Amino acid sequence: MDPEPAQTVEVVRSGGRPGEQLARLLDRADNGERAARQLAEVHFALMHYCGLQSCRHTKGPPRRLDRRTFRHSFLLPDGTVRVLWELEHNTGAEGGLRHAVFTDREDLAVAEWEVDAAFGVSTGRAELPPELGAFGSTNGHRAAGPTALDAEREAVDELLSPGKEAFRRAYTEGNSPEHAWRLLRRATNANAPGEDILLRLHAAIAHDISIVTRRSATIGGRPVSWSLYEHAFLLLDGSELSLWEIDHTRTPDGHPVCEVYPSRDAALDTAVRRIESGG
Is the pTM value of this prediction over 0.85?
A: no
Tell me whether residue 58 is in a domain. Answer: yes
Q: Which amino acid is at 48?
A: H
| pLDDT number for residue 98 | 93
Are 199 and 265 contained in the same domain?
Answer: yes
Of 126, 145, 164, the residue at which a domain comes to its end is 126
The torsion angles phi and psi of 148, rounded to 5 degrees, stand at -65, -40
* Residues 254, 275: Cα–Cα separation, whole Å: 12
Q: What confidence score (pLDDT) does residue 59 get?
A: 76
- Whether residues 180 and 268 share a domain: the answer is yes
In a domain, 156, yes or no: no
Structural element, H or E, at residue 249: none
Q: What is the C-alpha to C-alpha distance for residues 270 and 278, in angstroms, rounded to an integer? A: 10
Answer with the one of 126, 161, 186 that is the final residue of a domain: 126
pLDDT at 42: 93
d(CA 17, CA 29): 19
Domain of residue 245, residue span: 176-276
List of residues 6+ apart from 55 with CB closer than 8 A = 66, 67, 68, 69, 211, 213, 214
Tell me if 157 is assigned to some domain.
no
CA distance 89 to 54: 12
Transcribe 109-134 into DSSP letters.
HHHHHHHHGGGT---SPP---TT--T
Domains: count for the chain: 2
Q: 93, 111, 126 — which closes off a domain? A: 126
Are 180 and 115 members of one domain?
no
39 and 99 together in one domain: yes
Q: Does 189 lie in the same domain as 92?
A: no
Q: Report which secondary-structure segment, H or E, holds 44.
A: none
Q: How far apart are CA 39 and CA 104, in angstroms?
A: 12
189 shares a domain with 120:
no
Q: Coil, strand or helix: which one is 251?
A: coil
Domain annotation covers residue 167: no
Instruction: Say if residue 212 is in the same domain as residue 118.
Output: no
Extract the residue ranges of the chain whose pLDDT is less than 70: 1-10, 61, 120-170, 172, 276-279
- Determine, yes or no, domain membership for 248: yes
Q: What is the pLDDT of residue 21?
A: 92
First vs last C-alpha separation in the chain: 46
